[in-house]
Structure 1
Amino acid sequence: MVLLLNTCFRKNYSQKLHKLKTLVTNDFSLINEDLLEVLFYNDLEIFDVDYITIDAAFIILENSGGKLKQILLKHVDYHDYFNDNSCSYSLEEILKKLERPPALPILTSDYIYERDEDYINLINKYKNVGVIKGFRCESVANVVNMDFKI
């Protein structure tokens, strides 16, 4: 399916995605980064992803048009595959990329961000400079449901 998506995406959908307001996916790691670079999401307001590489996240953020209102990160059991420094570094790189108005609320179901002191300090740092408007951990059911405000 991903290969079919990659081949058809460029021809059929790339022109239509500029009006996309919500991008929801479970895995961006298999999508070709060259393809992502030609897709622009000028009106993207909500970015909801389960797993994404840091490079793909940067490309989407750069092509988002500056209108992002929410970033939702769902829990994925990949912490065992990376050491804590690489995970923290990835979060910090994304937050640095967002150092421009408007401040974003971030919602995740991964409670590591509330338990690990390095993450807490990193999140507070970006709250203090106005990059993060709010940060909240919720159950997976609530994150999927999205029936509440951050």
Structure 2
Amino acid sequence: MSASIGTRPFNDRSKQELRPIQLRPPKTAQETSPRDGTVADEDEGLFCRVCRTRITTPEEGVLINGRHLHAFFNPAGIVFEIRCFRSAPGAVGHGPMSTEFTWFSGYSWQIVLCAVCQTHLGWRFVGTTASHEFYGLIASRLLEG
């Protein structure tokens, strides 16, 4: 069984082509900046591929279900490779929360867009029984800087 990305089949060979992402070790409390979207180094971060707005930083990367990088398909069969982050100050929620076809059991989701150009960047996931949340951002829509 395979799904497709446009006209490109997504199968076992395609899964092997997914590139691993290098995570930096998390910073200690003394090294992190306030969670208000500010970052000490303006050239460091992950940016919207369309408008170059900073969305988050590699240090915000988190492991969800033991992995930072996941590949999922939606009900239409479109495959998304997502990276997980604890925060994404450059992304804004759009639309209602939903539990339909959630990729992470126990989480509801909401679409997130670039705060500047409104490009669909991924989803915000919020625990339905706990106050835990994270962002699943589409890897191909981010640019590393």
More contact order relative to length (CA 8 Å, sep ≥ 6): 2
